[in-house]
Chains A and B, each alone.
Chain A
Amino acid sequence: MKRKVIEEKFFLVLMIISATLIVSIIVLILTSIIIKGFSSFNLAMVSQTPKGGYYLGKEGGILNAIIGSFYIAGGATALATALGIPVVMLMNVYLKADSKVSAVLRLCFDVLWGVPSIVYGAFGFTLMIFFGLKASLIAGIIVVSILILPIIIRAIDEISQTIPEGLFHASLSLGATKLETGFKVNAKQILPGILTAVLMAFGRAIGDAASVLFTAGYSDSIPTSLTDSAATLPLTIFFQLSSPIKEVQDRAFAAVLILTIIVLCISLLSRLLTNRHNKYKI
């Protein structure tokens, strides 16, 4: 009996230590970013483009990268959502629950989810060479959309599986087609889940460096057309950190701070949406 009490206490202490360790790592990361980031942060960073000498320590900002990142992540999220929702609809509305096609599709997306983003970058680069394209906003959007497609599909797919069959049948028995049921009933039932999935994917898209490294290129100006190359936040951080000039290295942390704040806001927003009670949900 005594042994069990000791065992219980020992493992409880172990769990508390692990939890504390994880929380302190997060606190450490955030404080170091905030301290290092704030000291080199100034308004010009978010309101100006690099203007030539920025990477040598002169005046300017990274507005080009902020806007480039939003263009790429926004475009990729829109593209992946437009491609993903029909696939989710196929798996959950048209195919039966035990369909082999669905099982194969789910396996594919799980595999794709695990593929490192540099692989997508390399794949995109190969395609671009094949088609004779140069690094551009559109190439970045396409490659990043492939990167986040499995996230969007599997996240919406998981939540779709919580829709009661009776609800689906209720709509069908009123003479609705599967398409009408999918859009008017299923989508309404899981709307916050869909928004969460889309935001999660956006968060992943805006923070990924490897997939845009070869595909979106880099430019000191804000892209004005889809064929322009575009700067991104992760890459501007990479370039600044690899600079030999200390001042430029310090500024990298301000860029890190900006990226972290964006991603943090998106996570919080998606968490908020998940917890929000869907008024009409059955």
Chain B
Amino acid sequence: MESNIKVRNLNVFYGATQALKNINLDIPNKQITAIIGPSGCGKTTLLKCLNRLIESTDEVNVTGQVYVDGEDIYSPKTEVTHLRKKMGLLSQKPYPLPMSIFDNVAYGPRLHGTTKKNELKSIVEFYLKEANLWDEVKDRLSSPASKLSIGQQQRLCLARGLAVQPLVILGDEPTSALDPQSSAYIEQMFLKLKADYSIILVTHILRQAKRIADYIVYMYDGEIIEHGEASDVLNHPKHPKTIEYVSGVIS
């Protein structure tokens, strides 16, 4: 299994509480990895460690290493903006930026140095198509992003994230605020996108993991209990805690 993201001995403390306990994990390339587990088990904390957004939390202490493309992202030499450009994030609730639909998608490319109007136009069109939103918004690109429905907003956020050309897409329960139709849209898009991107998806919906995940990481109380191919973990779980969760005894 090839992996560009390797987590080694990762511990996270919020004040005195330990949120992640000695995490070791290789994320497979160009597959959908689902991190599952009951709420409060540290799924989102682990995800936030991968793009260092964890650092904006109050009183947090991170030890251990996370290697992205062989580079330890917690080394003082690592430029955090460079890292985050590689790790696209799709959050629980869509947060479009306070600007027009066009500017939302163009925001990232502009930050990273694309300024030519024509170039931006084609980037915006390409990624809005990629996120399956183009047909719905092509006639109102200059209207505020806040006017879109929440499902459209989440697809806009996806287009915006893809426009900076990340290697990885991090999804933090990206469908939890959406209606079933929009959720299905996002899931289908993930299945299409995994050809080009490694996708790491935190989800509390076991059925979603069953539908789209290739690789499963089961966490409980800050620890990785079991991880492996989705068919193995979901159909033949080994650890009693995983069996409980997968069979629906706890959720």
CB-defined contacts of A276 to chain B, threshold 8 Å: none
- Closest B residue to A187 by beta carbon equals B98
The verdict on B108 contacting chain A, using a C-beta distance below 8 Å, is yes
Asked whether A281 lies within 8 Å of B84 as measured between CB atoms, the reply is no
Task: Give Cα A189–Cα B92 distance, bound, in whole angstroms.
Answer: 20
**What distance in Å separates the Cβ of B200 from its nearest Cβ neighbour in chain A?**
13
The verdict on A180 contacting chain B, using a C-beta distance below 8 Å, is yes
**What distance in Å separates the Cβ of A181 from its nearest Cβ neighbour in chain B?**
10
CB-defined contacts of A165 to chain B, threshold 8 Å: 56
**What distance in Å separates the Cβ of A145 from its nearest Cβ neighbour in chain B?**
29
When the two chains form the complex, which single residue of A177, A185, A282 contacts B81, counting CB atoms closer than 8 Å? A177
Asked whether B111 lies within 8 Å of A166 as measured between CB atoms, the reply is no
When the two chains form the complex, which single residue of A167, A177, A188 contacts B95, counting CB atoms closer than 8 Å? A167
Stretch from A19-27, A168-176, A214-222, A226-234 at the B interface: A168-176
Size of the B side of the interface (Cβ < 8 Å), in residues, is 34
The verdict on A8 contacting chain B, using a C-beta distance below 8 Å, is no
When the two chains form the complex, which single residue of A96, A169, A280 contacts B100, counting CB atoms closer than 8 Å? A280
Task: Give Cα A270–Cα B98 distance, bound, in whole angstroms.
Answer: 21
Task: Give Cα A177–Cα B83 distance, bound, in whole angstroms.
Answer: 12
Asked whether B51 lies within 8 Å of A173 as measured between CB atoms, the reply is yes
Query: In B27-54, which residues have CB < 8 Å from any A CB?
Result: 51, 53
CB-defined contacts of B157 to chain A, threshold 8 Å: 170
Task: Give Cα A69–Cα B24 distance, bound, in whole angstroms.
Answer: 67
- Closest B residue to A173 by beta carbon equals B89
CB-defined contacts of A180 to chain B, threshold 8 Å: 111
The verdict on B93 contacting chain A, using a C-beta distance below 8 Å, is yes
Asked whether A279 lies within 8 Å of B160 as measured between CB atoms, the reply is no
Contacts A98-B59, A281-B146; A173 near B87 (Cβ below 8 A): yes
Task: Give Cα A174–Cα B81 distance, bound, in whole angstroms.
Answer: 8
The verdict on B205 contacting chain A, using a C-beta distance below 8 Å, is no
**What distance in Å separates the Cβ of A131 from its nearest Cβ neighbour in chain B?**
43
**What distance in Å separates the Cβ of B97 from its nearest Cβ neighbour in chain A?**
6
Task: Give Cα A48–Cα B97 distance, bound, in whole angstroms.
Answer: 51
Asked whether B58 lies within 8 Å of A98 as measured between CB atoms, the reply is yes
Asked whether A282 lies within 8 Å of B146 as measured between CB atoms, the reply is yes
Contacts A167-B97, A169-B91, A185-B98; A175 near B108 (Cβ below 8 A): yes
Asked whether B56 lies within 8 Å of A96 as measured between CB atoms, the reply is yes
When the two chains form the complex, which single residue of B85, B89, B91, B146 contacts A280, counting CB atoms closer than 8 Å? B146
Asked whether A175 lies within 8 Å of B82 as measured between CB atoms, the reply is yes
Task: Give Cα A167–Cα B146 distance, bound, in whole angstroms.
Answer: 12
CB-defined contacts of B228 to chain A, threshold 8 Å: none
Query: In A83-131, which residues have CB < 8 Å from any B CB?
Result: 96-98
Asked whether B81 lies within 8 Å of A171 as measured between CB atoms, the reply is no
Asked whether B81 lies within 8 Å of A169 as measured between CB atoms, the reply is no
When the two chains form the complex, which single residue of A170, A184, A185, A189 contacts B91, counting CB atoms closer than 8 Å? A170
Asked whether A175 lies within 8 Å of B95 as measured between CB atoms, the reply is no
CB-defined contacts of B87 to chain A, threshold 8 Å: 173
CB-defined contacts of B51 to chain A, threshold 8 Å: 173
The verdict on B222 contacting chain A, using a C-beta distance below 8 Å, is no
CB-defined contacts of B174 to chain A, threshold 8 Å: none
Asked whether B58 lies within 8 Å of A174 as measured between CB atoms, the reply is no
- Closest A residue to B163 by beta carbon equals A174
Asked whether A279 lies within 8 Å of B144 as measured between CB atoms, the reply is yes
**What distance in Å separates the Cβ of A140 from its nearest Cβ neighbour in chain B?**
37
The verdict on A278 contacting chain B, using a C-beta distance below 8 Å, is yes
**What distance in Å separates the Cβ of A97 from its nearest Cβ neighbour in chain B?**
6
The verdict on A164 contacting chain B, using a C-beta distance below 8 Å, is yes
Asked whether A282 lies within 8 Å of B95 as measured between CB atoms, the reply is yes
CB-defined contacts of B164 to chain A, threshold 8 Å: 174-175
Asked whether A282 lies within 8 Å of B96 as measured between CB atoms, the reply is yes
Task: Give Cα A243–Cα B160 distance, bound, in whole angstroms.
Answer: 68
Task: Give Cα A185–Cα B160 distance, bound, in whole angstroms.
Answer: 14
- Closest B residue to A191 by beta carbon equals B98
Q: A175-B81, A184-B97, A185-B98 are in contact. List 4 more A-B contacts (CB 8 A).
A: A171-B97, A173-B53, A280-B100, A282-B96
- Enumerate the 3 nearest inter-chain pairs by beta-carbon distance, A residue then B residue, closest first: A175-B85, A173-B89, A280-B98
A-B contact pairs, 27 of them (CB 8 A): A96-B56, A96-B57, A166-B91, A166-B95, A167-B95, A170-B91, A170-B95, A170-B97, A171-B107, A173-B84, A173-B88, A174-B84, A174-B88, A174-B107, A174-B164, A175-B82, A175-B85, A175-B108, A175-B111, A176-B107, A184-B97, A185-B97, A188-B97, A188-B99, A280-B144, A280-B145, A282-B98
